[in-house]
Amino acid sequence: MAVTEQRKDSSSSVQSINGRRSAAWVRCREELGLETDMRPSQTSLSTEQLKRLQDQFGEMFEVARAEMNSLARRLAGTRCGVAIADARGTVLHYLGDPEFNALAARVGLRPGTDWGEKTQGNNAIGSCAAMQRSVCVSGDEHYLTANRWMSGTGIPVFSGDGQLAFVLALLTATNEHDNRQPYVTALLEMAAQLIDRRAFLKRFANRMILRFHSRPDSVDTIDGGLIAIGREQRVLGMSQTARSLLGDGAPDSSRYGELGELLNLQLDELPEGNEEPGIVFDSRQGRRFYVLLTPPADHPQESPASTQTTEKPGDDAVNAEDYLASLELGDPAVAGHIRRAKRLAGENIPILIHGETGTGKEVFAKSLHRAGSRRDGPFVAVNCASIPETLIESELFGYKGGAFTGASRRGNTGRIVQADGGTLFLDEIGDMPLALQARLLRVLQEREVLPLGGDKAVPVDLCLISATHRDLRELIAEGQFREDLYYRLQGFTLTLPPLRERHDRTALIEHLLACSSAPAQPPRIDPEAMRLLDGYHWPGNIRQLVTCIRTMVALQEGGCIRVDDLPAEIRLGEIPQTASRHYDDGLERHQAGEETGSALRQAERDTLVTTLRQHHWHVNEAAETLAISRSTLYRKMKRYGIYPPRQKSPFG
């Protein structure tokens, strides 16, 4: 085709199309001086030049390359390619299906080539880099005829200072693109979020990190925002997700100030570590957020006010074994679990944790995650007993927009997909409804999730840790739990001992006391008070101990915890398993045929009774303390024949 004919053709084409394509073509022709029939240069950087360019991005490029390699593996055999480019459109990394690579080679799509708009016209890589937003360019929308055989989607990835770092692109043959475009965009957006999060956490590994979201269950997920904090509560960096959550209230990197200019809070008032998220408000627009603080990796016990913020470039963000070793305080059973868990930390083996309520199953699961190769990925925890049965399916598996009455028009990715690239922790797996167990089994077998109302499955790559206080074999015998799912979950099984059986209670009490008191010097414990604490039965296990320690720290005077500072049941030496058999406050005594058949069931019943008494039989408050829903607590009360004093059974 002659150049003059092509000019005429391109002119009429510009007039005959509208929207973004028209604007893009005008830009290519008028501003960049390109012709539609030109053959773009395929000049490529040398291997040494490309390596130097990649090295400029440090760990962030390594994180991006690992994530895109994972994406390429998931898309193997689908006639497509994935690429990473810099802010100018230079391809830094490329992987593709062999069949697609043969086509890509004709236009020079390989590492080191320039795919900016100045040389290639509008395309997924160059246009995304130029406009710094998500772009889809399909087939004939390309200005250059040479590129119209393909379609692509480009997603920007920003660094912690708000500057464009990379473009992620997924490219396909045009005739295969249209039906996949929403799916492709979702995959790339998730990859961009993961890269943003992992690179941010690596870069600011030795800084205080504030995690936040408008929903409490999303604070520590891929959807949560991250803010790095330095001395005098200065903001050092913000993840792109944090910028999205703050909207117009997010400053650019040149205007970072104190944290209080963004969120109305003081750091010393916020919960740290494994505590429940605190509530704060946007300083500018008044929106509510839930927040958690994560201390620097090299100062795990320091408070926000006293943390030193000396950054150590090149240090690994996590000393993997330290997370598990910090749980070892002298109990042989726990030490054995930690020793074996260290060997599994780098393997993708499902782990099943048994233990009574409050024995620290989630803490152990988080430590396993942080000690493993997926530590930079999300840790998504789901309590199967606390989500109403009507919602658990959509919460776990996600749904398409409008899939059911009341569903968000934007849809929901679901907790399983949120855990992609990281760890999914299913707490109280024994309480998962039987119908959903089959769906979960399919996810574990096929490694893909089909959202409610969806017609395309989403691939997932995750490590699974499950936990329960119930006897799953007994549930299998009763027909309440699938045997095939049980064997899929139990790659490695461990049982955390209840606090009353641990040999390191004194060391654990002192450790928790130091954590609860930091950064101040922890109060000492009077020997008689320690004797009572060490000898108590602890039906609520470590969870009850943590609450008890907080109360004692608040009540103590003169830097010493005395007997008078202990809760009444500990001072009086009440033994809960004895008290629970003498229902002086009106509890029904179990008949012989209704006695629980295992130690776990008896321990659960004792915990329910004790917690309900502590809250004067206010079910809402007791359910909140036990971290289960009110309906679940009522169901358990009915199962064990528990009801308030001087009241007949409400269950009929």
At 414 the three-state DSSP class reads coil
pLDDT level of residue 199 (50, 70, 90 thresholds): confident
Q: Where are the beta strands (DSSP E) in 6-124?
A: 80-85, 91-96
Nearest residue to 201 (alpha-carbon basis) of 10, 379, 74, 43? 379
Task: Output phi, psi for 44, to 5 deg.
Answer: -125, 150
**Alpha carbon distance 378, 201 (integer Å):** 11
pLDDT level of residue 236 (50, 70, 90 thresholds): confident
User: What local confidence, expressed as pLDDT, does residue 425 receive?
Assistant: 92
CA distances from 599 to 429, 602, 604 (A): 18, 5, 9
Question: Between these two residues, 518 and 648, which has the higher pLDDT value?
Answer: 518
pLDDT digits (tens, 9 = 90+) for 391-429: 777 778 887 765 555 445 566 778 888 888 889 999 999
Q: CB atoms < 10 A from the CB of 454, how many?
A: 16
User: What local confidence, expressed as pLDDT, does residue 270 receive?
Assistant: 63
Q: CB atoms < 10 A from the CB of 138, how many?
A: 18
pLDDT level of residue 438 (50, 70, 90 thresholds): confident
Residue 298 has pLDDT above 70, yes or no: no
**Alpha carbon distance 283, 264 (integer Å):** 5
pLDDT digits (tens, 9 = 90+) for 37-88: 988 777 888 888 898 898 888 888 888 888 888 788 777 777 889 999 999 9
Question: Between these two residues, 425 and 336, which has the higher pLDDT value?
Answer: 425
3-state helix, strand, coil in the chain (%, to 5): 45, 15, 40
Task: Output phi, psi for 51, to 5 deg.
Answer: -65, -40
At 151 the three-state DSSP class reads strand
Residue 465 has pLDDT above 90, yes or no: yes
User: What local confidence, expressed as pLDDT, does residue 17 receive?
Assistant: 36
pLDDT digits (tens, 9 = 90+) for 110-146: 999 999 999 999 999 999 999 999 999 988 899 999 9
β-pairing, 235-238 with 225-229? antiparallel
Nearest residue to 99 (alpha-carbon basis) of 78, 113, 83, 75? 78
Burial of 189 (0-12, 13-18, 19+ CB in 10 A): middle
User: What local confidence, expressed as pLDDT, does residue 447 receive?
Assistant: 87
pLDDT digits (tens, 9 = 90+) for 631-647: 778 777 877 778 676 44
**Alpha carbon distance 138, 125 (integer Å):** 12
- In the 3-class helix/strand/coil scheme, how is 177-240 assigned residue by residue? CHHHHHHHHHHHHHHHHHHHHHHHHHHCCCCEEEEEECCHHHCCCCCCEEEEECHHHEEEEECH
DSSP 510-536: HHHHHHHHTTSPPPEE-HHHHHHHHHS
Question: Between these two residues, 95 and 281, which has the higher pLDDT value?
Answer: 95
Task: Output phi, psi for 643, to 5 deg.
Answer: -155, 160
Q: Which residue has tokens 């009850």?
A: 544
Which of 175-184, 241-250, 544-553 is the most confident on average? 544-553
pLDDT level of residue 312 (50, 70, 90 thresholds): very low
User: Which residue type sits at 142?
Assistant: H
The mean-pLDDT minimum among 154-163, 247-256, 332-341 falls in 247-256
**Alpha carbon distance 356, 350 (integer Å):** 20
**Alpha carbon distance 351, 24 (integer Å):** 52
Nearest residue to 372 (alpha-carbon basis) of 464, 308, 484? 464
| 641 in Cβ contact with 588 (< 8 Å) | yes
DSSP 347-371: S---EEEE--TTS-HHHHHHHHHHH
User: What local confidence, expressed as pLDDT, does residue 169 receive?
Assistant: 94
User: Which residue type sits at 532?
Assistant: L
User: Which residue type sits at 479?
Assistant: G
**Alpha carbon distance 123, 13 (integer Å):** 17
CA distances from 549 to 425, 437, 514, 543, 613 (A): 27, 38, 10, 10, 19
Residue 8 has pLDDT above 50, yes or no: no
Whole-number CA gyration radius for the chain: 29
Question: Between these two residues, 23 and 86, which has the higher pLDDT value?
Answer: 86
pLDDT level of residue 12 (50, 70, 90 thresholds): very low
**Alpha carbon distance 508, 577 (integer Å):** 23
CA distances from 553 to 110, 518, 556 (A): 62, 11, 5
pTM to 2 decimal places = 0.45
The mean-pLDDT minimum among 67-71, 74-78, 507-511, 527-531 falls in 74-78
User: What local confidence, expressed as pLDDT, does residue 582 receive?
Assistant: 33
Domains of the chain: 3-200 (3.30.450.40), 224-294 (no CATH), 320-495 (3.40.50.300), 499-574 (1.10.8.60), 577-640 (1.10.10)
User: What local confidence, expressed as pLDDT, does residue 464 receive?
Assistant: 92
* pLDDT (average), residues 328-342: 81
Q: What size, in residues, is the chain?
A: 652
- Which DSSP category does 175 fall into? G
**Alpha carbon distance 30, 470 (integer Å):** 70
Q: Which residues pair with 153 in a beta bridge?
A: 136, 170
Six token digits for residue 355 = 């233990």
